[in-house]
Amino acid sequence: MSQALDIDFVRAQFPALSNGFAYLDNAGGSQVPQQVVNRISDYLIGSNVQTGASYQASQQASARVLAARESMQQLINARRSEEVVMGGSTTLLMFMLCQAIAPSIKPGDEIILTNTDHEANIGAWERLQERGAVIKFWNLNPSTLLLDLDALDKLLSDKTRWVAMTHASNVLGTINPVAEVAKRVHAAGARLCVDAVAYAPHRLVDVQASGADCYLFSLYKVFGPHYAVLWGEYEFLRALPSLNHFFIGPEVLPYKLQPGNVNYELSYGCMGINDYLVAVASHMNPTADSVQPANARQQMQAAFNQFEAHEELLAERLLSWLRTRTNVRVIGQTASDAALRVPAISFVVNGQHSESIVRAVDAQNIGIRFGDFYAKRLIKALGLESQGGVVRVSIAHYNTLDEMDRLIQALEKAF
């Protein structure tokens, strides 16, 4: 049995966690460790110049921006750093991706979307209807709250060009079998785009293992600055048209998909995510070698294994209490099993508006949230609009059992 996560060591890495506030809205944005803060500060102090010039400071800045992209390559297990596109948010990157895809769409081409996704992975695709695309929806099973693979099979056809789905629902918490979906999508001659925003904070991303053709998530929910990453298979990205200036050709990756270039200091700050993960793993096993890239990846996996086990304990503490409440309906998996879900836990209370519950908890120095979380189609399908959507508690690995108990006490008073 592996050792338990050293929660004191973990929390000591996050400056914000010393203020006594219980951050339980982590799916909206996580806290950042000191390693990220240091990287951003170091860049601004030591290399805040334009890249690409011959003078020494510019050469250093260029090297740092490249190193940042290479660190993201390592974090997501991409084959090449040119496959890593960075930008302000997943929503922005999704719109840019669809804009680049648009010229390849012909009238009658079919795109399959789900009604469980954040709108970032729906609206951008729907705009391709202007090119003649036909949108089909893969709807969740209302009884199981799962996306049935049989239902997908019925939607796939020789006209299908893209399927877009979430790796984990930001409302339900359910982990979807994207690798199996990828096999079916590719067998139909189509491509798969995966939104991993709700998944990436809880599992080490492996874009190659996912089977996806495109994979996106927000780094500011994975302990980084307010930034995001888009991965695409190299030959696919290379075939896309440039979204940049006319003299930046389609072969210039990833710059052709980064108009105006990346934010240098935030890109460099993202390296702090890797620094933090390796620090956690090294604390667990001080003799481990993290110098070689393959070993660093193993270190990061070891850290995430610890996170997963700890988060399951936290989720079970809350879910076990919610299961005892006859006036509560958990929206999603009621089990804490980490093989089935991430710890974004949503629920509603019979006869109460979700806002009233959250407002009551606010007063206890605890941050949770209510609403649709931009998964408006899902909330509508579940018939929860009149209740103000769901109450969502989104846990991160730096949360504690004590915080879960504080939350439960606050919820007991709220309903």
Mind listing the domains of the chain with CATH numbers? 7-32+293-414 (3.90.1150.10), 37-271 (3.40.640.10)
Q: What is the mean pLDDT of residues 210-217?
A: 99
Q: Residue 401 has what pLDDT?
A: 98
Q: Residue 1 has what pLDDT?
A: 45
Q: What is the mean pLDDT of residues 391-396?
A: 99
Give dist(CA 93, CA 23) in Å, integer: 27
For residue range 144-164, what is the model confidence (pLDDT) as tens digits? Answer: 999 999 999 999 999 999 999
Angle at 212 between CA 210 and CA 215, to 5 degrees: 95
Question: Is the whole model's pTM more than 0.95, yes or no?
Answer: yes
Give dist(CA 41, CA 37) in Å, integer: 6
What pairs with residue 336 in β-bridges?
Answer: none
Name the average pLDDT for the chain.
97
Q: Are the CB atoms for 188 and 160 separated by under 8 Å?
A: yes
Give dist(CA 190, CA 161) in Å, integer: 5
For residue range 179-208, what is the model confidence (pLDDT) as tens digits? Answer: 999 999 999 999 999 999 999 999 999 999
Residue 111 Cα to chain centre, angstroms: 22
Tokens encoding 332: 């999603």
DSSP label of 130: G
Q: Where does the pLDDT of residue 292 fall: very low under 50, low under 70, confident under 90, or very high at 90 and above?
A: low
How far is CA 337 from each of CA 174, 296, 334, rounded to the nearest angstrom?
A: 10, 27, 9
* Beta strand pairing call for 390-394 and 344-349: antiparallel
Q: Where does the pLDDT of residue 137 fall: very low under 50, low under 70, confident under 90, or very high at 90 and above?
A: very high
Q: Where does the pLDDT of residue 289 fall: very low under 50, low under 70, confident under 90, or very high at 90 and above?
A: low
The pLDDT of residue 3 is above 80: no
